[in-house]
Amino acid sequence: MNIIANAIDALDEGNIGRSFAEIQANHNQITITTSVVKQKAIITIADNGKGMTEAVKQKIFDNFFTTKAVGKGTGLGLAIARQIVTEKHGGTLTVNSSLGQGAKFVIALPIHG
Indicate which CATH number applies to the domain containing 74: 3.30.565.10
Q: CA 2, CA 18: separation in Å to the nearest integer?
A: 25
Contact residues for 5 (Cβ-Cβ < 8 A; gap 6+): 77
For the segment 67-92, what is each residue's pLDDT rounded down to a tens digit?
Answer: 776 667 777 889 999 999 999 999 99
For residue 26, name the pLDDT band (cuts at 50, 70, 90): confident
Q: Dump pLDDT digits (tens) for 33-78.
A: 999 999 999 999 999 988 999 999 999 998 887 877 666 777 788 9
CA distance linking residue 5 with residue 1, whole number of Å: 6
CA distance 111 to 113: 7
Query: Taking 70 as the threshold, does the pLDDT of residue 99 lie above it?
Result: yes
Tens of pLDDT, residues 2-20: 999 999 988 988 888 889 8
The answer, yes or no, to whether residue 27 has pLDDT greater than 80, is yes
Helices H, strands E: what count in the chain? 4, 4
Split into its structural domains, the chain has a count of 1
Domain that residue 45 falls in: 2-110
pLDDT score for 14 = 84
